[in-house]
Amino acid sequence: MERTFIMIKPDGVARGLIGEVIGRFERKGLTLTNLRMLTIDAELAHNHYAEHVDKGFFKELLSFITSGPVVAMEWSGEGAVNAARAVIGPTDPMKAGPGTIRGDYGLAVTQNIVHGSDSPESAERELGLFFG
């Protein structure tokens, strides 16, 4: 079984979408194996988004992800990374189709409800950051 990391971002938590997001992954057939609600501090945010450090939107990204509580989750299942990304949809909600989380609820690239690992390697790194 493959594992993946999913995080409901501050906008998803603030809008009361935790149950909806979890339900979509459950209906896809993935298994929730770990869950933690927290407010990310600057150090964790920097480590999580380290690959974006040289990009112009990095400071805005850090400001947003530390602005309120998030729900960090570990999901497992056959092809969990790709299955989860299909449920989530593309990063830009305007390009995400109906029926995806971002297509149905996302408002902007920076406020797109949920983060999902983009590869098994990223999933392992991110799971390590949030769950040790």
Give tens-digit pLDDT for 12-67: 999 999 999 999 999 999 999 999 999 999 999 999 999 888 888 889 999 999 99
Q: Judging by beta carbons within 10 Å of its beta carbon (0-12, 13-18, 19+), is residue 104 exposed, middle or buried?
A: middle
Q: How many domains does the chain have?
A: 1
Please give the model's pTM, rounded to 2 decimal places. Answer: 0.95
Range of the domain at 27: 2-131
Residues with a known catalytic role: 115
Return the CATH number at 116.
Answer: 3.30.70.141
